[in-house]
Amino acid sequence: MNQVNYVTKETFDQMQAELQHMKGVLRPAASKAIGEAREKGDLKENAEYDAAKEAQGLLEAKIKQLEGVIATAKIVDESAIDTSKVSILTKVTLTNIDTKKEVTYQIVSEKEADLKLKKISASSPIGSGLLGKAVGEIAEIKVPAGMIKFKIEKITA
C-alpha cells in the first residue's frame, strides 16, 4: 500500500477526526460490549459474545485501514494547482466525442470520490485516463463498456 493518497486539508482533518472517534469512543464501547457479553455465561454458546468480538474485529480493521490512508496522505494546496494539464484536484470539462455530451468532473483521491458530486477518483479508469492531458487533447479511455473518447475542453482549479 505504498500509493500516495492526495487529499485536501479538509479531508485530512475529517479522516483524523474519524480515527480519533473510532479509537476514543467506538473502541472502548466495543470492549465494554464484550465484557458485558462475557458476564452472561458460557462463552461457547454465547452468540452475543461472538457478535461483540466480531464487531470489535471489524472496528480494528477499519482503524488499521484508516491509519494506513492517513500515513500515506499528501495534503494538496488547492491554491497551487497547475491548470495547464489535468491533475489531482483540478476540475475538467469534457465532451464525449460520440454523444457530444459535455460534463465536468473534479479529479480527487479515492477517499473523496463521489459521483453524485461529480468527483471522480484519480485511480478510476476515467480519472487515470485524463491525468496529464491538456486542453484540446483527446483522451481515449478503456472502460468496462468499451472505449470512450473525451475531448478536454477546460481545466480549472
Q: Is the pLDDT of residue 76 over 90?
A: no
Alpha helices in 26-97 (DSSP H): 27-38, 47-71
Residues of each domain in the chain carrying CATH 3.10.50.30: 79-156
Residues of each domain in the chain carrying CATH 1.10.287.180: 5-75
Q: What 3-state class would DSSP assign to 35?
A: helix
- The three-point CA angle 19-157-116 to 5° equals 60
| Amino acid found at 50 | D
Which pTM value belongs to this model? 0.67
Please, what is the average pLDDT of the chain?
89
1 pLDDT tier (thresholds 50, 70, 90)? very low
- The three-point CA angle 46-47-48 to 5° equals 90
Q: Which fold has domain 79-156?
A: Chitinase A; domain 3 (3.10.50)
Which pLDDT belongs to residue 2?
55
Quick: pLDDT tens for 102-155: 999 999 888 888 999 999 998 899 999 999 999 999 999 998 889 999 999 999
Which pLDDT belongs to residue 39?
85
Mean pLDDT of the region 80-101: 91
Write out 71-89 in H/E/C secondary structure.
HCEEECCHHHCCCCCCCCC
41 pLDDT tier (thresholds 50, 70, 90)? confident
Mean pLDDT of the region 15-38: 93
Q: Characterise 118 by phi-psi region: left (phi > 0), alpha (psi -120 to 50), beta (else).
A: left
Q: Which fold has domain 5-75?
A: Helix Hairpins (1.10.287)
